[in-house]
Chain A
């Protein structure tokens, strides 16, 4: 390894680590919440600096046009969530659900999580990527269980076991990729460096690559929350602190998806290997339809939006599975829009649950009357996530559907059915939550509306007007994805 040159990536990784170390020992809630926000903001700046100041590709670090999108989205939502987290956690501290000691731990873990996700995104070495995703899983498991209630521990345990099996399968896939690479690129370091692999992948043994991809798709797919392997996701979303639900849905699922995409690119570059697209499209479609139906019988508001995340990850994986410039563009746009919208919804839902003292849907009624700001934010958020115009999700879903109609019309039918089923469920629930006679306890809540306003504003803007530079950028990335 040659001398490490300082670049945006260095800051991207060092800032969260240092912040985590400081936050772990820093007493006092106010100071640590502000420090958490400041560190997340600096990380965002470091991420943005990658646009103009791209570091050289090394054996461990890779920054290309594909992962910049993920890194910037990751750091942006990481920052806004830290702002939301400050007001959310203040309330949890007042009500005594969290103790100051838990809080130090919570803030430190938040930064470790940001570090692990950024590391997974910029890793050029597939082994390093695996270690980073495992680290992200571990930190979120701890955060999900932080309330120490029976339900929270159940959720954390389930997430733990399923997540561990997932990453174990992903590791087996990673080993198989190395085995496929070894005869061609030789032993040692190079066999796990993604940029080396993609150069030589056309001469790898296709059968071994196929097998590797199956393990990788199942393994990382568990973390994406794809249909048969999704069981951990709704519980983890429902029982953990809401900022973590926002980060899980908005970011961690994307990171796992990013890993799948990297390996999809490897497979696509090998002429003898199976086409990875149909496998991904099938799993995506299954997740979409399954989650669409599961949305109907939910009683817990956070769990409901957890299922909605499965649905949207299904759409995204389906779009990337279809491939081609248009579908990839739609997939990228949908991923960005989903991250922004879903985290905004969780910001709102977090405050709603605090105001009403419950997460049970049946006990939350007439929010627009009792808490106009929260109620209407929820209305806007749900309308956006359900895919109604003029929001960005409408546009990306429209692109997914229309590109499917052009290429495989038969697949468009289940796709549209799945979308409509989910749409119906969300609007049905929204009506009860937001309108009608107010019901149950309603305490005033000190909410920070800025993060959700920022997210929903961006989603609305994207739905009306996508700036041309962004379109060109996404088109470029879409063409990279093949």
Chain B
């Protein structure tokens, strides 16, 4: 009976993460995007805490706490301030329209279900479905990074991708170094956010539009420096 409950709750939370990934895809205001991301971080924290409880692995509570305090509070608040301070466009700049993006997202979720459920047929059902959800979150995060034009929403795409990885790592029962890895990721994300702020991408380029960053790609003739 408790096994059943453990299964259902972690299923619910993992499914919730996928759902919120979809919500991230159709936000068209940056502030709303930040709020939805904070919500995803809260759900991730719940999911990790539940895994910690079910697996009897107290060290996972650290990962849950990192998700809650760092990703649900500190990062959204500081991004909020950065957007206000640097006067970044408040709209999300979409490269591909919302409709096609959502369809692509559905296709990606279907893909990860097909791939993971077939591949992990021998693993226990909790682990395999957790992995399928995690892969969906990862792929949706990638999709968001590809289809969004400005740096802040790309960073949010990356962070939601990383949420999927933490979900996978905590779902893999008894995996060592999960806490270390989540700390390493937090450092990475902190660097990215500090990078946006310190490098003042807004000041350097007129927008945080990554198309402006793509000028290097053409390898144009640049005069002497």
Contacts and interface: CB of A to CB of B under 8 A. Distances in A.
Asked whether A and B interact, the reply is yes
Interface of A: 125, 127-128, 130-131, 134-135, 138, 141, 145, 148-151, 153-158, 160-161, 164-165, 168, 171-172, 175-176, 178-179, 182-183, 186-189, 191-192, 205, 207-208, 210-211, 231, 234-235, 297-300, 303, 357-360, 362-363, 440
A151 B216 contact: yes
Given A172-B138, A175-B169, A299 B122 contact: no
Contacts of A440: 224
B145 A205 contact: no
Most chain B CB neighbours (cut-off 10 Å) among A134, A179, A205:
A179
A301 to B, nearest CB: 12
A127 B180 contact: yes
Interface residues of B, number: 53
- Name the prevailing secondary structure of the A interface residues: helix
Contacts of A168: 138, 158, 161-162, 165
B85 interface: no
Contact of B177 (A154, A165, A192): A192
A138 B201 contact: no
Interface of B: 115-116, 118-123, 127, 131, 134-135, 138, 142, 145, 151, 154, 158, 161-162, 164-165, 168-169, 172-177, 180-181, 184, 187-188, 191-192, 195, 199, 201, 204-205, 213, 215-217, 219-225
B192 A154 contact: no
Nearest to A59: B176
Contacts of A176: 131
Contact of B120 (A127, A135, A145, A205): A205
A273 B199 CA distance: 45
Contacts of B151: 157
Contact of A160 (B138, B165, B192): B192
B195 A160 contact: yes
B165 A183 contact: no
24 contacts: A127-B177, A130-B181, A151-B222, A154-B215, A157-B195, A157-B213, A161-B154, A165-B145, A165-B158, A171-B181, A172-B138, A175-B165, A175-B168, A187-B174, A191-B174, A207-B119, A208-B120, A208-B123, A297-B219, A299-B219, A299-B220, A358-B225, A360-B221, A360-B223
Nearest to A239: B216
B168 A172 contact: yes
B224 A179 contact: no
A308 to B, nearest CB: 14
Contacts of B191: 138, 141, 160
Given A130-B181, A178-B175, A182-B172, A211 B119 contact: yes
Given A153-B204, A172-B134, 14 more contacts: A130-B181, A131-B180, A154-B213, A157-B151, A160-B195, A172-B135, A176-B131, A183-B123, A186-B174, A188-B174, A205-B119, A205-B120, A211-B119, A358-B225
